Structure 1
Amino acid sequence: MGRLVYSMIMSADGFVRDDDGVFDWGEPDEEVLAAVNEVTAGVGTYLYGRRMYELMHVWETDPSATTQSPESAEFAMIWQRAQKVVYSTTLDEVRTERTQLRREFDPEEVRALVEAAPGDVTIEGPTLAAHALREGLVDAVHVWVQPLVLGSGLSFWPDSRIDLTLLRERSFASGTVELVYSLR
């Protein structure tokens, strides 16, 4: 049985993109990307909303994404071999292999997928993750906190109380901090 892990990069004040929709500040350096690769190597399925999928599909559709560094090439390999489920009412089709399109988030389907998974399933994107958090489906939160403050934007956290227990923390030379929590 796998776990459902809400995983993303966020600013120090809890945003995943700024008011203009910009996320380029979240690009991890090579040390952080190597750590991300360690963590995601065991992920068998990614759950995405449309916007997150459109950000991530470059790991399969843009060959230049893999040539940036050995860590980028490794991440692309990890990403491409995993299953992906994209939840969208507006996307006409998916552009990547091993990818299914769903029109709506079905908590029971997600619960069954996670229970049948041999490894972790990640849910990425705060809008989609909010549905899973409200349904009590998320087992852990894995966040990579970047050392900057945006002031406003799209919040990593939904507008509801979530009690967390810190399981692990790790800092990097860039000032990025990795935090792993379980949900109480």
Structure 2
Amino acid sequence: MGRLIYSALASLDGCIADRDGGFDWALPGDDVHAAVNARMHGVGVFLLGRRTYEVMRAWDAIDLDGLPEVVVGFARIWRSADKVVYSRTLHHVDAPRTRVERHFDVDEVRRLVPSLGRDVAIGGPDLAGAAFRAGIVDEVLLHVFPVLVGGGTPAFPEARLDLALAETRTYDRGVVGLAYRRVTT
């Protein structure tokens, strides 16, 4: 049975991008990249908001020749998965295995995740907010970078979800990986 996974790279003050939209401080080293790849290996579908899709779409076109294996590994994970982009303004996507939906339907996602037999990743805090508020996120993966950006795009939406710590790990350059699972009653 699949899980709905929210994954983010964040600053110590909880942002995925600074006030100018920059996230160059979150460039993962090989060790973080390998850990993300290991967690995303089982993903069959990525659910994305428009802004997250616009950042991630580069993985469809990047030339993999000569790149480190961890980069190639993520590109293969990305390219082999289906992508659903939720947007009211984006009308067309030209990427393989990708479609646009106008509305995020919590009930549809609630049915999709267990029926798929693979994990589903949800990207972007705005889109994930609906899933957090509905209580359907099963796992939260967070890699915290040792930088304060002083504001920007928060990694988490305004929502409540009770979580239990499942794993912690430290990486090079002071990055900390945290994995939490939803507490079920």
Task: Give the TM-score taking structure 1 as reference length.
Answer: 0.94
Q: Tell me, in whole angstroms, the C-alpha distance in 2 between the residues paired with 1:183 and 1:13.
A: 22
Aligned AA for 2:10? M
Shift of 1:125: 0.5
Structure 2: how far apart are the matches of 1:110 and 1:17?
Answer: 26
Aligned to 1:51: 51
- Given the superposition, is the C-alpha separation of residues 43 and 83 from structure 1 closer, same or farther in structure 2, using an over 3 Å criterion? same
Please state if 1:171 is matched with 2:170: yes
1:13 alignment counterpart: 13
1:132 pairs with 2:131: yes
Q: How far is 1:161 from its partner?
A: 3.3
Deviation at 1:48, TM superposition (A): 0.3
Q: Flag as ranges the 4+ runs of structure 1 deviating above 4 A.
A: none
Contact 1:162 1:183 in 2 (8 A): yes
1:42 Cα deviation (Å)? Answer: 1.0
Structure 2, unmatched stretches of 5+, are: none
Task: Return the letter of the residue paired with 2:129.
Answer: A
Which segments of 5 or more consecutive residues in structure 1 lack a partner in the other structure? Answer: none
How much does 1:81 deviate?
0.3
The one-letter code sitting in structure 2 at the alignment partner of 1:140 is E
SS at structure 2 position matched to 1:181: strand
Corresponding position of 1:102: 101
Deviation at 1:67, TM superposition (A): 4.2
Post-superposition Cα deviations, 1:33-89, rounded to whole Å, max 9, x if no partner, equal: 11111111111111100010110111112326x643221111111110011111011
Note if contact 1:37-1:78 (Cα within 8 Å) is conserved in structure 2: yes
Give the alignment's Cα RMSD to 1 decimal: 1.4
Q: Given residue 183 of structure 1, which amino acid in structure 2 is its aligned partner? A: R
Structure 1 residue identity aligned to 2:87: S
- Percent identity over the alignment is 45
Aligned residues: 183
Question: 1:42 corresponds to which residue?
Answer: 42
CA shift, 1:28, in A, is 0.6
Q: Does residue 80 of structure 2 align to residue 81 of structure 1?
A: yes
- Shift in Å at residue 159 of structure 1? 2.2
Corresponding position of 2:29? 29
How far, CA to CA, are the matches of 1:91 and 1:36 in structure 2?
28
Amino acid at match of 2:50: R
| Counterpart Cα distance in 2 of 1:13 and 1:89 | 30
Worse-superposed segment, 151-160 or 75-84 = 151-160
* Per-residue Cα deviation, 1:81-137 (whole angstroms, up to 9, x for no partner): 011111011112113111121001011111111121212111010000111101111
Looking at structure 2, the residues matched to 155 and 63 of structure 1 have their Cα atoms a distance apart, in angstroms, of 31
Q: Normalising to structure 2: TM-score of the pair?
A: 0.94
